[in-house]
Amino acid sequence: MTEQQIADVAESGRQPEKGSNEWGQAIAALVVVGGLFALLLSGTFQQKSGDPDPAVCDASDDARPSKPVSGMQLCTALNRADLPTLLGTPTEYAMNASGKESMSTWADGTKTVTPEAEIQLATYSVKLSTSDDDIPVAEMAEFLGKSAQNRTVGGHPAVLYSDRTIALNFNLGGGKVDTGPGGIAPTLLVAKDTKDGGGFYEVAIWRQDDVVPDDLALFRVAETVLPTVPGWTAG
């Protein structure tokens, strides 16, 4: 869910003025999912290259601005030992784990902080973010296309929709960037409370190949991980 989509729903007329993202070393590829950047290889990740031990969330990423939940906390919740099993790839492990906060400043001076976390396995990548926007998830469904489906996760109203990733390949030698269509990323928007009073969690998964991910894997992740996120209320 992009901030522009949220702004359209709210009909606030505000537009993001600027934003800041934490970039590490030059990366081989990145994927854009629903307008949110998903880094495949970057300095924000802790890599375990050549080491079979799963990656862990780096505490140095916990900048923790004025936010109920930090990116580090989301990373800790998402980077579970059973995450590969939930995704249907039990023999894999977390190769990269990151948690951060991205900040945008709107034209009226309002600052928006978005905590997010991402875990990369050999087959899947999983992203978890949260927003305190006061727009109900049910209203957002109207703007997510005909494929959007109303669902429930842990007693919370939710919307399932799919987006196509955009693959960006960096030619570090030639200094060129090639773009092309990526795979499908099924995504769940889950209301923060059972009454859908505003605010949501967003969980997305996508594969490193072009195979369409299993929606059931997405629901297993959401239903298992979200109840462990600070602030989640039982349905």
Q: What digits encode the pLDDT tens for the residues 134-172?
A: 889 988 888 887 789 999 999 999 999 987 555 544 445
Compare 35 and 152 and report the one with higher pLDDT: 152
What span, in angstroms and rounded, lies between the C-alpha atoms of 41 and 27? Answer: 5
C-beta separation of 89 from 125 below 8 A: no
Of 132, 148, 131, 152, the C-alpha closest to 140 is 148
The pLDDT of residue 77 is 96
Query: When comparing pLDDT for 21 and 137, which is higher?
Result: 137
Q: What is the mean pLDDT of residues 220-232?
A: 94
| Nearest CA-CA partner of 57 in 116, 2, 132, 141 | 116
> How high is the pLDDT of residue 128?
96
pTM over 0.85: no
Model pLDDT for residues 22-33, shown as the tens digit of each residue: 322 222 223 333
Percent of the chain with pLDDT over 90: 40
Name the token pair of 16. Answer: 């993001």
- With 0-12 / 13-18 / 19 or more C-beta atoms within 10 angstroms meaning exposed / middle / buried, residue 135 is buried
For residues 1-12, average pLDDT: 51
**Where residue 63 falls among pLDDT bands split at 50, 70, 90?**
low
Distance CA 33, CA 40 (A): 12
Residue 175 has what pLDDT?
57
Which of these ranges, 4-8, 123-127, 149-153, 226-230, has the smallest mean pLDDT?
A: 4-8
* Rg, Å, the chain Cα set: 17
